[in-house]
C-alpha cells in the first residue's frame, strides 16, 4: 500500500484503510490497478501481486444502466461516483458490489481514482432467492388445480386462487375481508376448534368434509389446514387447501371387482365372510371357518350352504339364492339366521347378504356375526333393568338407552375406552350431538319406523370421538317399553367398524390401481379417457394418447429374473410420471405396456416434445439389486380428434404407431399420421 498511503501521516487512518473489510484499490487513468488493500484479495480472489496486473474494466460486467468509462471519466474530472456493479471473481463466479469511485487529488490535480467496493453478493443472492421463491409460490398458487384460500387470524378471507373461484363459484371480490361462506353452519364450531389447534402449530391433513358452493349445492372435499407464520414465528393466519373428492366418493360402490386381492384382504378380516354361488360355497375366510367349528376352509369349500343352515332358516337362504338369479347385484340386507356348527350345535347369527359377481358368476357374499350370546344377554336385558345394567357394563359393544325426547338416559362403561368420553360427560345429553350431521338425517326415519313394528333396525353412521374426530359404528336399535312406567325408549347396541371401513377403502383402491406400480389400472384409465373425450368435445380441445412399452423387456425377465423385472416396471412408471404434468395421467395397461393422457395439447409437436423428454429420461442407467443395465422405450402417439373421436379408435391407432416405432428400430416415437 506504499503509493496509496505515502502522503498520509496519521497511522490510525492508514490502519483503518488497510484493515477495512471493503475492497479498496487505486487506479491510474487507464483503469490499471496500482495498489490494493488485503480485503481486495479476499473479495476478488486475486493476490496483491495479481491485482497489480489487472485492469479494472476487465473484471467489471458491463451494465445497461450506466457506462463504466463515463463514470471513470467523471472521477478523473474530480467527481465522486457511486453505483452498483457486478464483477467476476477469479474463479469465474459473479460478485454483486456497491461501488464508490473517489478521485485522489494532489495539489488540485487528479493523480488516481480510489475505488471502494462493498461485497453485497450474499445479500443480493438472498434477495434473488426470496424473489424466486415468491414467484414460485405465486405460480403454484395461481396454477394449482386445488382450491386454496388464505384466512387471517379472525377468520376473514385474505386471498383465494383461481381454482377456488371455479370450484366454489364465488369470485375473490365477493370474498375478500369476509367470513368463508363455504363452511356449513353445523361445522362452524369444528372449524373454530381446528383453527385453534393450528394456532398451536397442529396441521390438519386430508380432513374429509362437505362444503357449500355459491349455488347452494354441497360438494365433498378433502381439506388441509396449515398455520401461516410471520418472521417472529407467530401464527397470523391459515392456509386452506381443498380438493374435490366428489367423484372419488361416487366410485366407492365399485369395490366388489377386486377378485384375487379381494380374497387375501378378506381372509385377514376379523369378520366371518363367506361367498356362495347357487348355494355352493366358493370362498370362506379363516374367521368363517372358525365360526362354523372347522379347522381349515377346505372342509367347507364346494359344499352347499344349506348343509350348515338350521331347518328353521333354510327358506331365507333359498330366497337369497333366488334373488341372486334374478339380480346378481341385489342390494345389501341383514337377516337373523340359525346356523349349524361342525359338532351339530346351533349358533344364532346376524347375516348381512349382498349380491356380487365372483369368478364371473352371480354370487352372494355373506358376513356372519355370532349374536348367540348377545341375543341371550339382550333378552335378559329387556326383562330386567338390573340384569341389563350388569350385562351392558361388561360388554365391549356400546350400549345406550335413549328416551322419547332423544336424551341419553344410560350409556355403558365401554363408551369411555371406545370413544374417549367419561360416562358422566355424555349421560343426560342429546344423542344427536354425538352423531355426525351428515348421517343424522338418514338415521331419524329409520329409527322412527320402529314405532310401527317390533323388530330391530340396523344402521351405519359416524359418532364423535373425544380426540380422534369421527368413528364409524354399526348400530342396532330396538323399540322397547319401560314396563314400570309405561314409557317408550330405544335400546341401541353399537360396534366399532372403523377397521371394516378402512378395509373397504383398500378394496376400492385395488379395484382402480395396479397392485405392482400403484398407477391407475386399465379400468380407471378407461373411465378417465371417456371423461376427457366428453370434456374435450364440449370445450373444443385437443389431447394426446401415448401408448408405450419397454423395449426387449422379456430379456430382463429371462436374464435377471422376474423380481428385477417387477422393480424395473415400478421405476419405469416413476421416471415417466416425472416427465408429465400434474394434469396428465399415466396408467399401466398390463405387462410392460403403459398409456398416458396429455390433456389440452395444442398440437402434435407438443406431444412429441413430451415423448422426447420421456425417451431421454430412459437413457439413464438402471441400478437394481446390484445389476446395472439400460433399457429404452417405443412410443406411439394418437391425437384427438384428428386420429379418432372415441376411445377404441384412439387406442388402436396409438398401438399401430407404437408397432411402427418398433419396426423402425425402437427407442423412438411415432405419430399415427406418420404411420
With a cut of 90, say whether residue 311 has pLDDT above it.
Answer: yes
Residue 96 · residue 121 · CB < 8 Å: yes
Range scoring the smallest mean pLDDT among 267-276, 561-570, 594-603: 267-276
Q: Which of 569, 651, 557 is nearest to 618 (CA)?
A: 569
Beta bridge partners of 222: 208, 243
Confidence (pLDDT) at 253: 46
**Mean pLDDT confidence for 574-593:** 93
Residue 394 has pLDDT above 80, yes or no: no
* Residue 641 preceded by cis peptide, ω within 30: yes
Write down the pLDDT at residue 413.
82
CB 599: neighbour CB atoms within 10 A? 17
Cβ 88 vs Cβ 96: under 8 Å: no
Q: pLDDT confidence of 134, banded at 50, 70, 90?
A: low
Q: What is the pLDDT of residues 442-458, one digit of tens each?
A: 777 777 776 656 667 77
**Nearest residue to 37 via CA among 28, 539, 46, 29:** 46
Would you say residue 1 has pLDDT above 50?
A: no
Q: What mean pLDDT is reported for the chain?
A: 83
Q: Is the pLDDT of residue 63 over 50?
A: yes
The x, y and z cell numbers of residue 82, run together, are 457511486
Average pLDDT over residues 632-645: 94
Considering only CA atoms, which of 119, 120, 78 is closest in space to residue 102? 78
Give 156: exposed, middle or buried? Use CB within 10 Å, 0-12, 13-18, 19+. middle
Question: Per this entry, what is the length of the chain?
Answer: 675
Tell how far CA 512 is from the center of its chain: 16
Per-residue pLDDT, 4 = 46
The better pLDDT of the pair 500, 668 is held by 668
What is the average per-residue pLDDT within 640-649?
94
Show the DSSP H helices in 330-384 as ranges. Answer: 372-383
Range 174-186 average pLDDT = 87
626 pLDDT above the threshold of 70: yes
pLDDT cut 90: percent of the chain above it: 28
At residue 494 the predicted structure's pLDDT band, cuts being 50, 70 and 90, is confident
Q: What would the mean pLDDT of 139-144 be, rounded to a whole number?
A: 78
| Pair 51, 36: CB distance under 8 Å | yes
**Packed helices 372-383 and 385-392: angle between N→C axes, nearest 10 degrees:** 140
Residue 143 pLDDT greater than 60, yes or no: yes
Report the pLDDT averaged over residues 489-501.
Answer: 79
| CA dist., res. 447 & res. 315, Å (int) | 28
When pLDDT is cut at 50, 70 and 90, the band that residue 639 belongs to is very high
- 480 pLDDT more than 60: yes
Phi first, then psi: what are they for 640, rounded to 5°? -100, 130
pLDDT of residue 386: 53
% of the chain at pLDDT higher than 70: 88
Pull the grid cell for residue 149. 384460500
Long-range interactions of 104-109: CB distance < 8 A, separation 24+: 104/26, 105/78, 106/7
Tell me which residue has cell 497489480. 52
Mean of pLDDT values over 575-580? 94
pLDDT score of 3 more than 70 = no
pLDDT > 50? residue 609: yes
Residue 653 has what pLDDT? 95
Residue 511: what pLDDT? 65
For the stretch 339-369, pLDDT in tens is 999 999 999 999 999 888 887 788 889 999 8
Task: Please report which confidence band the pLDDT of residue 496 belongs to, taking 50, 70 and 90 as the band edges.
Answer: confident
The mean pLDDT of 223-246, rounded to a whole number, is 82
Does 415 or 2 have the greater pLDDT score? 415
> Quick check: 244 pLDDT over 70?
yes
Which of 225 and 48 is assigned the larger pLDDT?
A: 225
> What is the average per-residue pLDDT within 359-380?
81
Give the pLDDT confidence score for residue 256 in this predicted structure. Answer: 44
Quick one: pLDDT band at residue 484, thresholds 50, 70, 90? low
Residue 182 CA to residue 168 CA, distance in Å, equals: 8
Q: How confident is the model at residue 543 (pLDDT cuts 50, 70, 90)?
A: very high
Can you tell me the distance from the alpha carbon of 459 to that of 121, in angstroms, rounded to the nearest whole number?
Answer: 68
Measured over the CA atoms of residue 178, residue 182, residue 188 and residue 194, the dihedral's sign is: negative
For range 153-164, the mean pLDDT: 87
298 contacts 327 by C-beta, under 8 angstroms: no
Q: How much is the average pLDDT of 396-409?
A: 80
Least confident of 156-170, 293-307, 500-514, 606-620: 500-514
Which of the two residues, 416 and 131, has the higher pLDDT score?
Answer: 416
Question: 53 vs 99, which has greater pLDDT?
Answer: 99
Question: What is residue 2's predicted lDDT score, i.e. its pLDDT?
Answer: 47
Does residue 257 carry a pLDDT above 70?
no
Amino acid at each position: 500500500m506504499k503509493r496509496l498511503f505515502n502522503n498520509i501521516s496519521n497511522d490510525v487512518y492508514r490502519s483503518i484503510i488497510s484493515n477495512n473489510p471493503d475492497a479498496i484499490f487505486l487506479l491510474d487513468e487507464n483503469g490499471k490497478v496500482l495498489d490494493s488493500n488485503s480485503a481486495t484479495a479476499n473479495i476478488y480472489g486475486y493476490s496483491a501481486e495479481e491485482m497489480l496486473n489487472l485492469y479494472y474494466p476487465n473484471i467489471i460486467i458491463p451494465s445497461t444502466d450506466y457506462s463504466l468509462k463515463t463514470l471513470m471519466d467523471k472521477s478523473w474530472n474530480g467527481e465522486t461516483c457511486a453505483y452498483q456493479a457486478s464483477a467476476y471473481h477469479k474463479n469465474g463466479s459473479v460478485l454483486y458490489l456497491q461501488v464508490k469511485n473517489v478521485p485522489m487529488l494532489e495539489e488540485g490535480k487528479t493523480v488516481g481514482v480510489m475505488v471502494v467496493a462493498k461485497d453485497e453478493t450474499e445479500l443480493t443472492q438472498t434477495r434473488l432467492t426470496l424473489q424466486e421463491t415468491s414467484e414460485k409460490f405465486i405460480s403454484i398458487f395461481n396454477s394449482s388445480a386445488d382450491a386454496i384460500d388464505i384466512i387471517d387470524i379472525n377468520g376473514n378471507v385474505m386471498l383465494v386462487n383461481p381454482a377456488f373461484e371455479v370450484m366454489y363459484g364465488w369470485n375473490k371480490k365477493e370474498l375478500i375481508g369476509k367470513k368463508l361462506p363455504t363452511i356449513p353452519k353445523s361445522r362452524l364450531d369444528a372449524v373454530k376448534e381446528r383453527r385453534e389447534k393450528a394456532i398451536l402449530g397442529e396441521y390438519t391433513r386430508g380432513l374429509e368434509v362437505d362444503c357449500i358452493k355459491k349455488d347452494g349445492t354441497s360438494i365433498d372435499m378433502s381439506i388441509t389446514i396449515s398455520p401461516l407464520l410471520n418472521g417472529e414465528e407467530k401464527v397470523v393466519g391459515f392456509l386452506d387447501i381443498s380438493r374435490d373428492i366428489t367423484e372419488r366418493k361416487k366410485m366407492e360402490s365399485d369395490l366388489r371387482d377386486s377378485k384375487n386381492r379381494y380374497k387375501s384382504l378378506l381372509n385377514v378380516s376379523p369378520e366371518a365372510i363367506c361367498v356362495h354361488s347357487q348355494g355352493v360355497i366358493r370362498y370362506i375366510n379363516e374367521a368363517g371357518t372358525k365360526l362354523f367349528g372347522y379347522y381349515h376352509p377346505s372342509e367347507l369349500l364346494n359344499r352347499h350352504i344349506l348343509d350348515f343352515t338350521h331347518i328353521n332358516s333354510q327358506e331365507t337362504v333359498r330366497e337369497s339364492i333366488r334373488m341372486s338369479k334374478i339380480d346378481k347385484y341385489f342390494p345389501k340386507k341383514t337377516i337373523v339366521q340359525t346356523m349349524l356348527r361342525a359338532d351339530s350345535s346351533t349358533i344364532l347369527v346376524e347375516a348381512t347378504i349382498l349380491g356380487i359377481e365372483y369368478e364371473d358368476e352371480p354370487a352372494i357374499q355373506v358376513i356372519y356375526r355370532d349374536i348367540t350370546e348377545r341375543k341371550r344377554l339382550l333378552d335378559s336385558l329387556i326383562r330386567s333393568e338390573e340384569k341389563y345394567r350388569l350385562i351392558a357394563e361388561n360388554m365391549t359393544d356400546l350400549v345406550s338407552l335413549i328416551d322419547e325426547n332423544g336424551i341419553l338416559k344410560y350409556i355403558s362403561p365401554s363408551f369411555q375406552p371406545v370413544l374417549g368420553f367419561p360416562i358422566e360427560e355424555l349421560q343426560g345429553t342429546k344423542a344427536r350431538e354425538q352423531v355426525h350431521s351428515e348421517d343424522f338425517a338418514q338415521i331419524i326415519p329409520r329409527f322412527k319406523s320402529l314405532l310401527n313394528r317390533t323388530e330391530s333396525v340396523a344402521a351405519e353412521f359416524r359418532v364423535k370421538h373425544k380426540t380422534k374426530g369421527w368413528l364409524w359404528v354399526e348400530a342396532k336399535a330396538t323399540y322397547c317399553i319401560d314396563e314400570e312406567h309405561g314409557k317408550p325408549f330405544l335400546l341401541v347396541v353399537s360396534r366399532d367398524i372403523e377397521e371394516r371401513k378402512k378395509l373397504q377403502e383398500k378394496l376400492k383402491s385395488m379395484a382402480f390401481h395396479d397392485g405392482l406400480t400403484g398407477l391407475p389400472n386399465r379400468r380407471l384409465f378407461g373411465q378417465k379417457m371417456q371423461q376427457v373425450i366428453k370434456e374435450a368435445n364440449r370445450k373444443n380441445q385437443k389431447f394426446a394418447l401415448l401408448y408405450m412399452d419397454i423395449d426387449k423387456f422379456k430379456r430382463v425377465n429371462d436374464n435377471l429374473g422376474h423380481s428385477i423385472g417387477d422393480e424395473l416396471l415400478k421405476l419405469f412408471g416413476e421416471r415417466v410420471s416425472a416427465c408429465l404434468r400434474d394434469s396428465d395421467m399415466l396408467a399401466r395397461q398390463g405387462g410392460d405396456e403403459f398409456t398416458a393422457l396429455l390433456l389440452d395439447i395444442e398440437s402434435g409437436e407438443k406431444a412429441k416434445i413430451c415423448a422426447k423428454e420421456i425417451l431421454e429420461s430412459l437413457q439413464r442407467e438402471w441400478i437394481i439389486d446390484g445389476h446395472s443395465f439400460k433399457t429404452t422405450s417405443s412410443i406411439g402417439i394418437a391425437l384427438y380428434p384428428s386420429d379418432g373421436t372415441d376411445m377404441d379408435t384412439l387406442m388402436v391407432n396409438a398401438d399401430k404407431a407404437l408397432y411402427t416405432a418398433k419396426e423402425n428400430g425402437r427407442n423412438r416415437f411415432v405419430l399415427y399420421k406418420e404411420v
